[in-house]
Amino acid sequence: EARKDLIAELEAKNAEAETLRESTAVVATTLEKNEAIDRILEQLERVVPYNSASVQLLHGDFLEIVGGRGLPDDINQIGVTFKLESAEPAFPVLQGDIPYALYDDVQPSVPAFNEPPHHRIHAWLAVPLKVKGSVIGIIALDGFRVGQFSARHAHLAVTYANQVAITLENARLFSELQAELAERRQVEINLRQRESILEAVTFAAEQFLQTTNWRA
């Protein structure tokens, strides 16, 4: 039995390592934010048994849902913002006070989870998204069963959150680079247009002078 348990544990760790390797490859090759988030959350589901997940970014005192997987089809939650208050279960995570928030059953502690569309959620896990040491948001994982997540699941989710944070930062830098290149291209176009106008004016002036000299 001990040997079987050891083999099962090794197989699980191998699967986790392979999944993490694949998510790292996604980060290295994908610069489109939404696609990368969806693919990493898809791989995370292979090692953390969640029912739905969302990526939420911090904007001042508000959180915005920027990506997700398994969210209710009848409610478009992408782009939804809500005010961050101390009563929010993710508040201590966003403040950097704890490494993650793990609830076996979130409903007795947070009344909002007793109301639609969150009333199906019992187990709840939030891990921070960090860029250069600063918390920029969270990944929230939802489970429909009480006790669906363990501390090991939380540690795995933290690792994947690091990959998502890298993805978001790469996408932001790529977007800024694209905007800078577009601005430079526009400047070059404007310069060419000005040069063309100057050339046309110079040519017209030369023609006028030649005509005036010829008449003189």
The DSSP annotation for 141-167 comes to EEESSTT---HHHHHHHHHHHHHHHHH
- The token pair at 90 is 């993710």
Per-residue confidence (pLDDT) for residue 107, from 0 to 100: 95
How much of the chain, in percent, has pLDDT values that exceed 90? 26
Q: What is the pTM of this model?
A: 0.69
What would the pLDDT profile of 189-202 be if each residue is shown by its tens digit? 888 888 888 887 88
Q: What's 100's DSSP letter?
A: -
Rounded CA separation 92/63 (Å): 14
Has residue 214 got a pLDDT over 60?
Answer: no
Least confident of 5-19, 46-60, 105-119, 193-207: 5-19
Has residue 211 got a pLDDT over 80?
Answer: no
